[in-house]
Amino acid sequence: SNRFEDYLALVIEEEAQKLIDRYHAYHNFLHLEHKRNKERVLDAPDKEVKTPDYWRIDPKFNPFYVRKRRKSIARSIAKKLTDGTYHPRRPFEKKIDKPGGGTRTLSIYQLPDVAVSRIFYERLLEKNQHRFSSFSYAYRNDRNVHFAIQDISVDLSLDARAFVAEFDFSDFFGSISHEYLRKQFDTNGFYVSEQERIVMEGLINA
């Protein structure tokens, strides 16, 4: 065991626990709803507890499975990262209805890949945060929605003719050229190790 492997196991556990807590909340909601229905009507339908369909595709989508086997999964991934043979699994694509009509495609990654992505994101952000715009509220860990609201409030108070518009960029991130992304690492002075490049390539191409 090494420090990275132990940290990876911890992050895998945290990511799995998030989904487990969410699933338990869903289960509790169903239980209370079923209990209320039984008190109101005589022939209340049976309680039906569902699991996400993609849990059946691969067990590493299942947070209960992943949490239980986090140490062996972390050991396997750490070895692949060292060998340069780590490749994220293809995400499950789920279509959900948008409130205004149409659908949006969600890419759902296996939990170990989510953990790896989070670790490398945190590592890269720590080294390169000074390269990000101060308006990158969604990507800097020292900026949040409250900063965004405050900045907007100041801008509006200074300019009486300011307008607020809402945009819905259709598949904005999915449409960005991968070659363009690669060039940004070289032309904008980002600190990126060879291992980090390999992992990012894998995530981009998954």
d(CA 75, CA 78): 5
pLDDT, residue 172, reads 62
Q: Say what the pTM is.
A: 0.76
Helix axes 70-83, 111-128, angle to 10 degrees: 50
More confident of the two residues 81 and 163: 81
pLDDT, one tens digit per residue, over 136-182 is: 766 676 777 777 778 777 777 777 676 666 655 556 666 778 788 78
DSSP code at position 151:
H
First to last CA, the chain: 28
CB-based burial, 45-75: b 16+ in 10 Å, e otherwise: eeeeeeeeeebeeeebbbbebbbebbeebbb
pLDDT, one tens digit per residue, over 118-135 is: 999 888 888 877 777 676
Biggest CA pair distance of the chain: 69
Tokens of 78: 């750490």
What are the residues whose beta carbons fall under 8 Å from the beta carbon of 59, sequence distance 6 or more? Answer: 65, 66
What are the residues whose beta carbons fall under 8 Å from the beta carbon of 31, sequence distance 6 or more? Answer: 47
